[in-house]
């Protein structure tokens, strides 16, 4: 609960960009998966206001929950102990394109899709493309270290953050690095904030790295008859630098076969959408090289842009297919070393049989990051869901993997964190959190308990 | 199948009111979820809730984006019914901001002129405030040898946007052509409704001068018409928002001017044209009929 006097202070800072009205509190109580109950919402327009808010929060001891577009999957922007939701939506400007240094400076509320479109107009490319990129924000993407389809070649959001301005939980504003591609001066503190899920600082400005936009593509839909034929896929796509390697799992393929009868390659248990991007003939040459190194597969190669679109449509149809065939379930985004994907797929078959559930898996096989949708009926007992998830995460970690490749821990995976992180690591997490946030006011209740 | 909102947020960035406000309360996702809870009684219709539900401009840009196929606009309308007083009669509303006063009595439609077979429905705003443009339209129809009759009636848009039904002085399923794009949206579920722009498809895309841009409404968008060679999307119908939240209307039109990059704005909605002219009298604005008229007369 926030006292009336604190609300008065907040009104002084934010004016009519402070509210505790019914409708607004509701609108800022949810993200894509979770709900909470904020006491107030504020909309800063600059980092100075953020700094004043956090100083006040540390002094008075009330929670502050940073929020971008509120499209997260793990409850990262949801208040668990009440408090003030800090919406960065109005700090959404693209500030500067530097064509000499190939950088873009933006405010955290800028929508990633807008950033991508903007730089594309100059022949440049900002590669990170989480599934939500058209509606999520750069700040949110940085806080979650968002990935996406093209991470297999281009890397994740962390690889594109050159500079950050952050407001610490105690209110200090600090800038980290800038338009530098190399920096060995002082600890690399910038990177602590990337993927910190809004628990160590509030991002108020980012300097993003840009690359030249590719001009040519070569795309194929590859059908694998069984799991063993997928071995060597990861090493092949990674050494050839495929720009996309997207798996469609066994249970989804037959449904897609019905919707796209003539487009899919024959004799397919698993489908992989593979794409190479670049310039001139290079993508085609690389695709041919990849396809010739797999004997047991069948494939369909896109001969022009419209065929390429049709192949991507198949991949885009995966989520609607799962939604239509799965009324109740959980969805996880585990990550394993890429070469362990076949073993994980075999394990998912066993898990499916053991628990009598239906598992729809798909996603970024080239990164080893699979979206695993586990579906069950209304009679499936709750405690079995926990057992099932624990089994999934334990297997993931035993393969050298981690609980989440992209979605973060947030509220959703907190209780499983010690499956992946050692006691020493969790203690170190807590120590770092205490140093930066002595009163534990910034986004409490996320990732781990303090 | 009864789909429910999955809260993905995909609808938000296409919404003009979300874009200018940066506020979830003025977003499709926010209004949909709030509307659901107002209808079920879980959330009371407090003033900020009412303001949120009124902030939707019926541009319909959100509906096609929704991955589970929700009719977001319809939810908003249904929710509005819970706090709006409905008026069962064909009501005209006061547009005193534009110097138009209606008597507020129940209006019986009448056939006013013409002697032909096409029923033309301009709507009250067109007849009362855009007489010149209506003249040009009737000249065009005469040029194309289309005999018409004008129905002088109210489309009941102000009641429709709160979930109301329109009442027209014609028999059901009679074919008639609506002239105002907002009236078309409120009437289009009726079997007989047509949109007047379909008469002119042979001249599309209309040649606009280099410094003009067409502001496309849901009417021509829903019919898949490419009306002019340079067109941008309208932020929706802003007439009634104008009476509730002129700050929002200002922001929406400012954004529209930015998107037009300062060019002359050519509307298909008489509502928006009327509001725009009253707020931005120094920016040149027209109705598309003016340019179709020029195109047809010159050829």
Most confidently modeled range among A289-293, A378-382, A430-434, B51-55: A430-434
Q: Minimum mean pLDDT among A183-192, A369-378, B147-156: which range?
A: B147-156
- Give the pLDDT confidence of A63-113 residue by residue, as tens digits: 999 999 999 999 999 999 999 999 999 999 999 999 999 999 999 999 999
Q: Minimum mean pLDDT among A6-20, A208-222, A245-259, B183-197: which range?
A: B183-197
- Give the pLDDT confidence of A159-176 residue by residue, as tens digits: 999 999 999 999 999 999
- Is A87 in CB contact (< 8 Å) with chain B? yes
Grade residue A153 by pLDDT with cuts at 50, 70 and 90: very high
Cα–Cα distance for residue pair A184/A203, rounded to 1 Å: 22
Whether residue A258 is predicted with pLDDT greater than 90 in this model: the reply is no
Contact A21 B46 (CB under 8 A): yes
Confidence (pLDDT) at B167: 58
- Give the pLDDT confidence of A271-301 residue by residue, as tens digits: 999 999 999 999 999 999 999 998 889 999 9
Whether residue B170 is predicted with pLDDT greater than 80 in this model: the reply is no
Whether residue B102 is predicted with pLDDT greater than 60 in this model: the reply is no
Confidence (pLDDT) at A298: 92
- 3-state helix vs strand vs coil in chain B, percent to 5: 45, 10, 45
**Taking a C-beta distance cutoff of 8 angstroms, is the pair B129, B146 a contact?**
no
Which among B189, B168, B57 has a CA at the least distance from the CA of B123?
A: B168
Using H for helix, E for strand and C for coil, what is the string for B50-91? HHHHHCCCCCCCCHHHCCCCCCHHHHHHHHHHCCCCCCCCCC
In A, which residues are within 8 Å of B52 by CB distance? 23, 27
Mean pLDDT, chain A, whole residue set: 96
Contact A111 B13 (CB under 8 A): yes
- Is B46 in CB contact (< 8 Å) with chain A? yes
Burial grade of B131 (CB within 10 A; 0-12, 13-18, 19 or more)? exposed
Which residue of chain B comes nearest to A24, CA vs CA? Answer: B25
Confidence (pLDDT) at B192: 74
Percent of chain A residues topping a pLDDT of 90: 92
In sequence order, what are the residues at sequence separation of 6 or more whose Cβ sits closer than 8 angstroms to the Cβ of residue A311?
Answer: A219, A220, A221, A263, A273, A300, A302
User: Each residue of A433-442: b (16+ CB within 10 Å) or e?
Assistant: beebbebbbb
- Is B12 in CB contact (< 8 Å) with chain A? yes
Establish how many alpha carbons lie within 13 A of residue B207's alpha carbon, considering only the half-sphere containing its beta carbon: 6
**Taking a C-beta distance cutoff of 8 angstroms, is the pair A278, A211 a contact?**
no
Q: Minimum mean pLDDT among A36-40, A237-241, A365-369, B166-170: which range?
A: B166-170
Whether residue B115 is predicted with pLDDT greater than 80 in this model: the reply is no
* Tokens 């990337």 sit on residue: A194
Confidence (pLDDT) at B163: 61
How confident is the model over A406-429, as a mean pLDDT? Answer: 97
Which among B87, B96, B79 has a CA at the least distance from the CA of B41?
A: B79
- Give the pLDDT confidence of A295-342 residue by residue, as tens digits: 889 999 999 999 999 999 999 989 989 988 998 999 999 999 999 999
The token duo for B200 is 């002119």
Closest partner residue to B7 among A30, A87, A323, by Cβ? A30
Grade residue B93 by pLDDT with cuts at 50, 70 and 90: very low
Percent of chain B residues topping a pLDDT of 90: 47
Mean pLDDT, chain B, whole residue set: 83
Best of B4, B8, B69 to mutate (most A CBs within 10 Å, chain A): B8
The token duo for B291 is 């340019």
Which residue of chain B comes nearest to A73, CA vs CA? Answer: B8
Contact A69 B9 (CB under 8 A): yes
Whether residue A435 is predicted with pLDDT greater than 90 in this model: the reply is yes
- How crowded is residue A201: how many other Cβ atoms within 10 Å of its Cβ? 28
- Is A323 in CB contact (< 8 Å) with chain B? yes
- Strands A270-278 and B148-152 come out as unpaired
Contact A319 B67 (CB under 8 A): yes
Cα–Cα distance for residue pair B281/B263, rounded to 1 Å: 14
Confidence (pLDDT) at B112: 47
Burial grade of A37 (CB within 10 A; 0-12, 13-18, 19 or more)? middle
Confidence (pLDDT) at B190: 65
Cα–Cα distance for residue pair B280/B254, rounded to 1 Å: 9
Confidence (pLDDT) at B159: 64
Grade residue A265 by pLDDT with cuts at 50, 70 and 90: confident
Cα–Cα distance for residue pair B5/B11, rounded to 1 Å: 11
Helix or strand (DSSP H, E) at A86: strand A84-87
Grade residue B98 by pLDDT with cuts at 50, 70 and 90: very low
Q: What is the ipTM of this complex?
A: 0.94
């Amino acid at each position: 609960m926030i006292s009336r006097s604190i609300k008065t202070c907040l009104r002084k800072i934010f004016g009519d960009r402070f509210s505790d009205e019914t409708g607004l509190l509701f609108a800022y109580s949810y993200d894509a998966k979770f709900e909470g109950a904020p006491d107030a919402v504020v909309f800063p327009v600059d980092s100075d206001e953020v700094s004043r808010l956090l100083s006040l929060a540390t002094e008075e001891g009330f929670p502050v929950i940073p929020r971008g577009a509120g499209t997260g999957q793990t409850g990262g922007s949801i208040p668990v102990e009440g408090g003030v939701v800090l919406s960065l939506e109005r700090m959404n400007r693209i500030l500067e394109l530097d064509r000499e240094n190939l950088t873009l400076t933006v405010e955290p509320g800028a929508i990633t899709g807008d950033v991508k479109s903007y730089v594309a107009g100059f022949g440049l490319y900002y590669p990170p493309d989480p599934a939500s990129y058209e509606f999520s924000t750069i700040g949110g993407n940085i806080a979650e270290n968002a990935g996406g389809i093209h991470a297999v070649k281009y890397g994740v959001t962390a690889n594109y953050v050159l500079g950050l301005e952050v407001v610490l939980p105690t209110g200090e504003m600090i800038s980290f690095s800038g338009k530098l591609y190399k920096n060995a001066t002082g600890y690399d503190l910038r990177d602590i904030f990337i993927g910190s899920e809004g628990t160590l600082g509030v991002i108020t400005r980012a300097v993003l790295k840009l690359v030249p936009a590719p001009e040519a593509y070569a795309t194929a839909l590859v059908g694998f008859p069984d799991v063993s034929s997928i071995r060597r896929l990861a090493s092949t796509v990674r050494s050839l630098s495929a720009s996309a390697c997207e798996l469609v799992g066994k249970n989804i393929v037959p449904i897609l076969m019905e919707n796209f009868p003539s487009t899919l390659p024959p004799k397919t248990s698993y489908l992989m959408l593979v794409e190479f991007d670049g310039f001139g003939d290079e993508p085609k040459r690389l695709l041919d090289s990849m396809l010739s190194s797999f004997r047991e597969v069948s494939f369909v190669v896109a001969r022009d842009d419209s065929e390429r679109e049709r192949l991507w449509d198949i991949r885009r149809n995966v989520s609607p297919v799962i939604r239509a065939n799965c009324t109740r379930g959980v969805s996880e985004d585990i990550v394993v070393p890429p070469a362990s994907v076949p073993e994980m797929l075999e394990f998912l078959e066993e898990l499916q049989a053991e628990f009598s559930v239906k598992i729809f898996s798909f996603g970024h096989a080239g990164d080893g990051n699979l979206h695993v949708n586990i579906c069950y009926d209304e009679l499936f007992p709750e405690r079995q869901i926990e057992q099932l998830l624990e089994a999934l995460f334990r297997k993931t970690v035993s393969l050298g993997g981690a609980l989440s490749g992209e979605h973060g821990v947030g509220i959703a995976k907190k209780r499983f964190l010690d499956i992946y992180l050692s006691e020493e690591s969790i203690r170190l997490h807590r120590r770092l959190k205490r140093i930066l946030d002595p009163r534990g006011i910034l986004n409490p209740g996320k990732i781990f308990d303090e | 199948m009864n789909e429910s909102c999955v809260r993905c947020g995909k609808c938000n960035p296409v919404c003009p009111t979300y874009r200018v406000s940066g506020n979830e309360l003025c977003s499709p996702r926010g209004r949909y979820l709030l509307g659901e809870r107002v209808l079920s009684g879980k959330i009371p219709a407090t003033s900020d809730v009412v303001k949120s539900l009124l902030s939707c401009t019926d541009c319909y840009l959100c509906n096609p984006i929704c991955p589970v196929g929700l009719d977001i606009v319809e939810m908003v309308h249904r929710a509005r019914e819970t706090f709006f007083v409905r008026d069962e009669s064909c009501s005209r509303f006061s547009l005193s901001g534009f110097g138009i006063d209606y008597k507020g009595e129940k209006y019986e439609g009448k056939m006013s002129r013409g002697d032909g077979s096409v029923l033309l429905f301009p709507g009250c705003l067109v007849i009362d405030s855009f007489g010149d443009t209506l003249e040009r339209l009737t000249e065009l129809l005469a040029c194309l040898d289309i005999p018409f009759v004008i129905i002088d009636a109210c489309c009941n848009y102000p009641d429709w946007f709160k979930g109301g039904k329109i009442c027209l002085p014609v028999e059901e399923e009679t074919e008639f052509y609506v002239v105002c794009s907002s009236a078309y949206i409120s009437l289009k579920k009726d079997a007989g409704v047509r949109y007047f722009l379909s008469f002119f498809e042979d001249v599309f895309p209309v040649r606009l001068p280099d410094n003009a841009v067409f502001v496309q409404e849901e009417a021509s968008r829903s019919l898949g018409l490419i009306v002019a060679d340079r067109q941008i999307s309208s932020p929706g119908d802003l007439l009634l928002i104008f009476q509730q939240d002129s700050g929002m209307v200002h922001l929406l039109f400012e954004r529209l001017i930015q998107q037009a990059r300062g060019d002359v704005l050519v509307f298909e909605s008489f509502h928006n044209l009327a509001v725009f002219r009253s707020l931005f009298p120094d920016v040149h604005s027209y109705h598309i009929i003016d340019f179709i008229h020029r195109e047809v007369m010159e050829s």
